[in-house]
Each structure stands twice: as C-alpha cells, then as structure tokens.
Structure 1
Amino acid sequence: MLKPTINDFISLLPTNPQVLDLGCGPEHESMRLNQAGAKVIGIDFSEKCIDIARQRCPQCKFEVNDFRFLDDIYGKFEGVFACASLVHINPEELGDVLSNIQKVLVDGGYVAIVIVEGEGINEKFSILEVEGKKLNRTFYLYTRNYLREEAEKAGLEYVREGYLDEKLKRDGWRNYLFKSGWRNEK
C-alpha cells in the first residue's frame, strides 16, 4: 500500500540517495526505500524492532536511537522518511524534532511526514497489538496547518501533499512533503 508513496518521495531525490527512515520499526518501509534505490539507515528506539529489521533487511543499516534527540551522528541525508513516527511526538516536542530533522538534511533535501490529520489524541490508534499483547501508546493528531507552521519555524518549507492510497486517506492519514534549505535559497 505504501510502495507508490515511497516512489513519489524517491522521485524528488537524486539517484541512489541517502535516506533516513525515522522510526523504522521492523523495517517494512526501509526495505521498500532500498528497493526504490535508496541507501537506507533506519532508526527506532525499540531494540526488538531493530533486531528484527537487521535480520529481515541486511542491505540496510539499522540503529537503536530515540529520534527525539536526533543529531548528525549518521551524517546528512537527501531524504528523511517519517511514516507514522511523528504521531508519537507530543506537541511540546514536535518543533524540536522537526528542527533536528532539518539539521540532518542536506540543503534541498526532502522529508515525507505521514500522520493522521486532526487535533488532540486519537484513542483508536493508541492501542497496538503485538504478539497477542495490547500495547497502549499515545497517538497525536496534527492538522496540516499546525504541522506546516512548526516545520517552517524549523526551516522546512511545505512543498505539497504527497501520494497516499485512498483507503489510508479515508482513515485520516496524510502525507506531507517538506524541503530543507529554503531560507538559504532566498
């Protein structure tokens, strides 16, 4: 379902781009990004997810890291793919996380942010079942305008809404594309 979303994102980047999969989980999108031609580093705070990712997709690099504290330890990237990861960041931390994303992008690099449109917390998406266990996690909703304002404060320019499958869109998901370095171009 996300392959066309990834292809749309990759089309903005140079050939064989360096891409950071932010909050990669057990590698599903990392593998697809790699198949689309990207050199991928995936980060996630979950050691278990990173262990699974390393086993499933050895052609990508995976590291345990809390992206709330992202820095340039992995270098700079032409793209950052943040699919359903920023939904776990509270509004008080969102601006800092977006600033950190901007800092790891090359000038003119792109970020795809896949979120659920809205305001507040969504209880429906907060419960996740993994291996028969129900996990409760906070799932924040953001409007395009709020995300755009926070991103622009961080030095990321809104480009457009990216491709997303119609079923995901009916469920409230959105894909927003931003570009770094725009302040340096003006």
Structure 2
Amino acid sequence: MAADIFGFRDTIHWYDENAEKYAANIENIPSIELVDRFANAVGKKGKVLDAGCAAGRDSRLLKDRNLTPVGIDLSQSLIEIARKKYPDIHFEHGNLLELPFENETFDGVWAHASLLHFETTEEVSKALQEFNRVLKQDGIIHVFVKQQPGEQKTEIVSDRLSGHDRFFQYFTKDEIQSLLEQAGFSVEEIQDEYKDPAGREEVKWVVSLARKQSPGMFAKG
C-alpha cells in the first residue's frame, strides 16, 4: 500500500524498518499539556481520530482522558506494535489522504507531528480536507508541525543505520492558519516557537487548535 502513496515511500519504509526503536524512543516524550488541552476542548466520551498514531502512545493518553480513540498510520509495523501494546484500542493501517471512515464520524482529530512528511502543500491541504470530512460539525482538530527554520521549507534526513531517507516539510504559523481556514476550520488557538517535546533547542513547533465550521473551499460536492 505504501508504494502507491505519493512521494514518501522512503519515509514509510524507514518507519517500518525502525518501528521498534522509534516506538521506544518516543514513548517517554509525550506532550501532556497539549493532550489535556485537546481533551478538554473535545469533551468527555468524545470519539477522536489519532491521525498518524505511530505505536499508539497518544491514543493511550487520549483513552486515559475518557475519550474513545481510533488510531491510523501508514506504517504497518507501527500499527502492529500499537495493536499488541493496546489491545483495547482500535487501530487501522491506512492513508491520511483517503481515510477509511464515514463522514462526520469523529468529535476530534489529533494530528500530532503527522503532516510533516507530506512532500507538497497540496497533500497537506488534502489531508486537512479529509480530517474536515470525518469530523462532526464543530469538531475539534489539533495540528502540531515543525516550524520552518528561516528559508528552509523542506529537508531530507538520511538515517545512517538503515540507509533510508525521511522527508520533512516545515511550516510557518501563518501558513498553517491559512491551510486550516481553507479546509473549513476556524482557528481558535495558534502558537509558534513552541518548545520541542524532546528537548532539542534548535527545533521549534507550530501548534494549533481549530474547530470545524464548514466543508471547506476544496470539498467535493
């Protein structure tokens, strides 16, 4: 499936090949403050999509806050780890650009560091439109992406051990706000220069919380 999904085959391959190590590395660096903010905005017992769920770390945190999470990721290896670790949570192997869910299924979408591997702005727009489609009216979306450092918009990072590349796309606060609004969301909170959860001084993030207001300007009739 990954071989047919636009231009990030190598990135998905990297996650498949390094799933166990990656899952262990990120297990203890959750963004508790942001999880709490999202959970409070959605409300108790809300059904939420963990878009790009990796090995299920945030899905578990969302469930601990009385939400009903459904995780989805394009890495089959990470999904298998998530299913083994958290058998009481539903996980899907699937594509954020073609979500396998009906319209207005979810009360919230948690897109935490999951949009930064798309190669083009058009792909990010399509993913946001899909999030809009599966959200109920007034549903909440959390978006967390790496902040653009200066003029550098994209970067290919080569992993020395696996030999595979990972593609990263960076964003400005204004760009994320515009993309969310075009996809039919009303931005309620947005912040750049957000500290890196892993403690890297050189890495900053853009974090936003928005609400579904309309189908979006690119929605299909």
Structure 1 length-normalised TM: 0.86
**Where in structure 2 are the equivalents of 1:1-186 lying within 5 Å?**
1-73=30-102, 76-89=105-118, 90-118=120-148, 120-123=153-156, 126-127=157-158, 133-161=162-190, 166-168=195-197, 170=201, 171-181=203-213
After superposition, the C-alpha distances for 1:67-88 in whole angstroms (9 at most, x for unaligned) are 1112534861111001111001
Following superposition, the deviation at residue 52 of structure 1 comes to 0.4
1:36 and 1:162, CA in 2 relative to 1: closer, same or farther beyond 3 A?
A: farther
CA deviations 1:109-145 (Å, max 9, x no partner) are: 111001011151134xx3468xx53541211001111
- TM-score in terms of structure 2 length: 0.73
Which structure carries more helix by proportion? 1
Aligned mates of 1:117, 1:45 — CA distance in 2: 23
Give unpaired runs (5+ residues) of structure 1.
Answer: none
The verdict on how the C-alpha distance between 1:14 and 1:45 changes in structure 2, with shifts beyond 3 A counting, is same
Q: How many correspondences in the alignment? A: 180
How far apart are residue 162 of structure 1 and its match? 6.8
Cα deviation, 1:15-52, whole Å, max 9, x if unaligned, reads: 11101000101111111111111101000011111110
- Equivalent-residue separation in structure 2 for 1:35 and 1:163 (angstroms): 28
SS of 2:88's partner is coil
Which protein has the larger Cα radius of gyration, Structure 1 or Structure 2? 2
Question: In 2, Cα distance between the equivalents of 1:55 and 1:164?
Answer: 35
Does the Cα contact within 8 Å between 2:172 and 2:206 map onto a contact in 1?
no
Identity %, equivalent residues: 23
Partner secondary structure for residue 41 of structure 2:
coil
Say which SS state the counterpart of residue 66 (structure 2) adopts.
Answer: coil
Pairwise CA distance, 1:175: 1.5
Q: 1:127 to 1:179 in 2, by over 3 A?
A: farther
1:95 shift after superposition: 1.3
SS of 2:107's equivalent in the other structure is strand
1:164 Cα deviation after fit: 9.6
Aligned-residue Cα RMSD (Å) equals 2.5
Amino acid at match of 2:184: G
Per mean C-alpha deviation after superposition, the further-off stretch among 110-119 and 175-184 is 175-184
Deviation (angstroms), 1:173: 1.5
